[in-house]
């Protein structure tokens, strides 16, 4: 039965490929157009203009609200589906903060939870066809990573004073090596926000661009468009995984950096 459906679906794809094939198959691929920022009201993109960025950021906020507030509104002792997911997310991030950053990192839990929920929701919303992916923009991820970098640096100096500089002075290494290691550590410290932000934006952007490229092939190949369509299906599944993993990676790296600020000794 399943096999029959598969062949019917395959035949439909082939027939539709024949029927809807463009008159003159042009390779019209614009993989980066999906990332364009455009004003929804028309006109220039000013600082306070309402754009597609505004729309999809607002949708991310709404999704967070729906899951975490509406989902947990029944306060049931035996949770329902939405409450289970909300509690699972809470427990997942709480345990991560506690395990990686330590007991005194727990007071940063709401902050880290904010980062995780935002990135997760933005990534998943970006997977809806025709949507706009806010986390594919360097401007957004750089702000997120910059916030983490600033927080970690300020917390490090407030908590440890000058002792925070011990993070760069590897006391377990031979004395002669320490200045060299200090320079390397210093560079790696300042590269952190760059890698932190570009990793997220790069992964999301690359996946979405690949989907668009395959979609362009599907439009151009006519009869054989089923091949890129299968590829799109596979890449989409991978992108769902990447959407979660990148949110997870961003969050756990934040916890690791926070641990450095709270306990700078190696």
Partner 1 sequence: MASNTQDAAHGAAEAAHGSAPGMPQLDFSTFGNQIFWLAIALVAIYLILSRVALPRIAAVLAERQGTITNDLAAAEDLKAKAVEAEDAYNKALADARAEAQRIAAETRAEIQVGLDEAIAKADEQIAAKTAESEKAIGEIKAGALESVKLVAADTAEALVTALGGKADEKAIATAVADRMKG
DSSP annotation of 75 reads: -
| Dist. CA 19–CA 28, nearest whole Å | 19
| Dist. CA 100–CA 253, nearest whole Å | 9
Q: Output the CA torsion sign for 238, 243, 247, 250.
A: positive
CB of 147 to partner 1, least distance (A): 8
- In this chain, which of 7, 41, 48, 81 binds partner 1, going by CB under 8 A? 48
Q: Give the angle subtended at the CA of 253 by the CAs of 85 and 34, to the nearest 5°.
A: 70
Contact string (CB under 8 A) for partner 1, positions 184-223, x = contact: -----------------x---x------------------
Question: Phi-psi region for residue 86, left (φ > 0), alpha (ψ -120 to 50) or beta?
Answer: alpha
Kindly state whether residue 58 participates in binding partner 1, applying the rule CB under 8 A: yes
Residues found in the chain: 266
Kindly state whether residue 79 participates in binding partner 1, applying the rule CB under 8 A: yes
Binding-residue total with partner 1 (CB under 8 A): 48
Kindly state whether residue 109 participates in binding partner 1, applying the rule CB under 8 A: yes
Taking CA atoms, 3 is separated from 10, 17, 71, 232, in Å, by 11, 21, 39, 21
DSSP code string of 239-259: HHHHHHHHHHHHHHHHHHHHH
Determine the interface stretch with partner 1 among 12-20, 81-89, 162-170, 175-183 (rule: CB under 8 A). 81-89
Contact string (CB under 8 A) for partner 1, positions 13-32, x = contact: -----------------x-x
CB of 65 to partner 1, least distance (A): 6
CB of 30 to partner 1, least distance (A): 5
DSSP annotation of 196 reads: H
CB of 51 to partner 1, least distance (A): 6
Nearer to partner 1, 87 or 185 (CB): 87
Kindly state whether residue 86 participates in binding partner 1, applying the rule CB under 8 A: yes
| Dist. CA 216–CA 193, nearest whole Å | 34
Determine the interface stretch with partner 1 among 15-23, 137-145, 169-177, 180-188 (rule: CB under 8 A). 137-145
CB 27 within 8 A of CB 222: no
Kindly state whether residue 64 participates in binding partner 1, applying the rule CB under 8 A: yes
Kindly state whether residue 60 participates in binding partner 1, applying the rule CB under 8 A: yes
The dihedrals phi and psi of 130, each to the nearest 5 degrees, come to 75, 5
Binding residues vs partner 1 (CB under 8 A): 30, 32-33, 35-37, 45-49, 51, 53-54, 57-58, 60-61, 64-65, 68-69, 72, 75-77, 79, 83, 86-87, 90-91, 109-111, 113-114, 117-118, 134, 136-140, 143, 201, 205
């Amino acid at each position: 039965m399943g096999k029959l459906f598969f062949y019917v679906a395959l035949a439909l794809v082939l027939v539709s490929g024949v029927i809807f094939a463009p008159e003159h198959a042009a390779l019209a691929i614009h993989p980066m157009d999906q990332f364009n920022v455009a004003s929804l009201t028309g006109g220039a993109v000013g600082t306070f203009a309402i754009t597609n960025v505004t729309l999809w950021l607002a949708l991310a906020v709404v999704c967070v609200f729906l899951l975490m507030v509406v989902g947990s509104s029944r306060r049931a002792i035996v949770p329902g589906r939405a409450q289970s997911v909300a509690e699972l997310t809470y427990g997942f991030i709480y345990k991560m903060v506690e395990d990686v950053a330590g007991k005194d990192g727990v007071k940063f839990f709401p902050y880290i939870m904010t980062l995780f929920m935002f990135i997760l929701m933005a990534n998943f919303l970006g997977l809806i066809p025709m949507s706009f992916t806010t986390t594919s923009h360097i401007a957004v991820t750089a702000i997120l990573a910059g916030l983490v970098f600033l927080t970690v640096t300020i917390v490090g100096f407030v908590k440890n004073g000058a002792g925070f500089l011990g993070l760069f002075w590897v006391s377990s290494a031979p004395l002669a090596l320490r200045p060299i290691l200090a320079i390397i550590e210093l560079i790696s410290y300042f590269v952190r926000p760059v890698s932190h932000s570009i990793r997220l934006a790069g992964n999301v952007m690359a996946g979405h661009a690949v989907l668009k490229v395959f979609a362009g092939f599907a439009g151009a190949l006519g009869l054989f468009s089923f091949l890129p369509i299968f590829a799109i299906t596979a890449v989409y599944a991978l992108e769902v995984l990447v959407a979660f993993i990148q949110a997870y990676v961003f969050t756990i790296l934040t916890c690791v950096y926070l641990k450095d600020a709270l306990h700078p000794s190696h």
